[in-house]
A and B are shown apart, each in its own frame.
Chain A
Amino acid sequence: MSGRDPEALPYRINRAPVPKLARSTAMLRAGLLSLAVATLIFGCLTLRVVSGHDPALGNDLSAGSRNAAASSGPATPVESVEPEEPAIPAAPMVQPAPPPLPVQTSTS
């Protein structure tokens, strides 16, 4: 041993700047992670809407129970994209009327 107190050794902190390439890689990695999380959330929400699976309820809803659930709580708003058929105006109903009977005018 050289008798030097290891505690006395100069403590060197490497303060060299992070290379630009490494910094870009980190940002890219964070961006990809965010994108993955967002994709996962969107996927879950889509799956819930399409299949009726409600993670909060923890079960897969059949058609009947879906309706019951819809009537018992706030329904997920789903806009219909079905085009409405234009209403065809009903033809006026012509009620048949009997022909008037003959009458007679006479002296009063």
Chain B
Amino acid sequence: MQAEHERTLDLFGARVRILVGTPLDGERRSPALAALEAEALLRRLHADLSRFEPASALSALNRNPAARVEVGPAVAMLVRAAIDAAEASGGLVDASIVEPLERAGYTSSRVGVRPASLTAALQWAPKRRPAQPRPGHPWDQVALSADRSTVVRPPGLRIDSGGLGKGLAADLAGRRLSRFSSFAVDCGGDLRLGGVRGLSRRVEVDHPFDDDMGLSFDLAEGGIATSGMKTRIWADGHGYSHHLINPATGQPAWTGVVQATALAPTTAQAEVLAKTALLSGPESARHALEPWGGILVLDSGEVEARGGLSLALRTGKAAA
């Protein structure tokens, strides 16, 4: 029997992988054609939503000094999702913290940049404490018009697509593959799984402290996202920084959680849950991941499965 059709590409500053099974339910496209169309969609979304591409629609919005700016459907979708994420996370998932990100040193894509040692960074890191929302809740002042054509926000407020953009992209691409026996869209670790047959797929999870060890579980459908500091962590003049910012301080967050994996009906929801779990510290993270399931890795290296998720330990390199 043939394997799923597989297509890989570099996008969103990460590796993107599209897997497509057998066409069913009147689907007339071949797996190869469907994967190609999914790739085209992902490329369009990246071109619109990348903060690092000066020609992107998001960059145009961020450069515009006006309070009301007309936007296209991709940016409108991102802004809507960012407003929802801020509300769902109590302001912890804040897409407007571009300036603190840049101050921390995250001014360009870190593709191909070797990360600093997480163990060394944790030894250096200040006292652990949960992150807090920004004072004044600037997201309350961001709105999208009813016809989704205009963004209203305080002049100068910039928006970062980050993991939310990848989650949305995985969801949209996955929706177009729903009439195949199985499919998976992997946007740099943000996953959308599904398919007509409801076939379970093994999902490998990186271990933040050991490349030769990992965890795995089986899932047939839904979104999965992992938030962590393993790959985007760097040494600066004073110590270490990473890309997960405490909105209240504008500084990298050190909460006692180094990695959170969340499951949810959609990848965008999983992305918000994973980031909320990491920023809110171990105690709140356990509650955040309980409804749909997830995995926490604490500073100590301790691993916790939440929501009844059944985990298997992997030793050796990941198969995926």
Q: Are B204 and A96 in contact (CB under 8 A)?
A: no
Q: Are A108 and B19 in contact (CB under 8 A)?
A: no
- Spot the interface stretch: A44-52, A84-92, A99-107: A99-107
Interface mask (B227-240 → A, CB under 8 Å = 1, otherwise 0): 11111100000000
Verify if A97 is at the interface (C-beta below 8 Å from B). yes
Q: Are B225 and A108 in contact (CB under 8 A)?
A: yes
Across the interface, B186 reaches (CB within 8 A) one of A99, A100, A103, namely A103
Known A100-B19, A100-B195; contact A105-B189, beta-carbon cutoff 8 A: yes
Q: Are B21 and A100 in contact (CB under 8 A)?
A: yes
Known A96-B1, A97-B21; contact A104-B261, beta-carbon cutoff 8 A: no
Across the interface, A107 reaches (CB within 8 A) one of B17, B189, B191, namely B189
CA distance A105 to B192 in the complex (A): 10
Across the interface, B2 reaches (CB within 8 A) one of A98, A103, A104, namely A98
Known A107-B232, A108-B188; contact A102-B202, beta-carbon cutoff 8 A: yes
Q: Are B199 and A101 in contact (CB under 8 A)?
A: no
Which residues from chain B contact A96 at a C-beta distance below 8 Å? 1, 22
Known A95-B22, A106-B188, A106-B189; contact A101-B225, beta-carbon cutoff 8 A: no
CA distance A101 to B19 in the complex (A): 8
Which B residue sits closest to A106, measured CB to CB?
B189
16 contacts between A and B (CB under 8 A): A96-B22, A97-B199, A100-B195, A100-B202, A101-B4, A101-B201, A103-B17, A103-B19, A103-B191, A103-B203, A104-B205, A105-B204, A106-B226, A106-B230, A108-B14, A108-B189
Which residues of A approach B to under 8 Å, CB–CB? 95-108
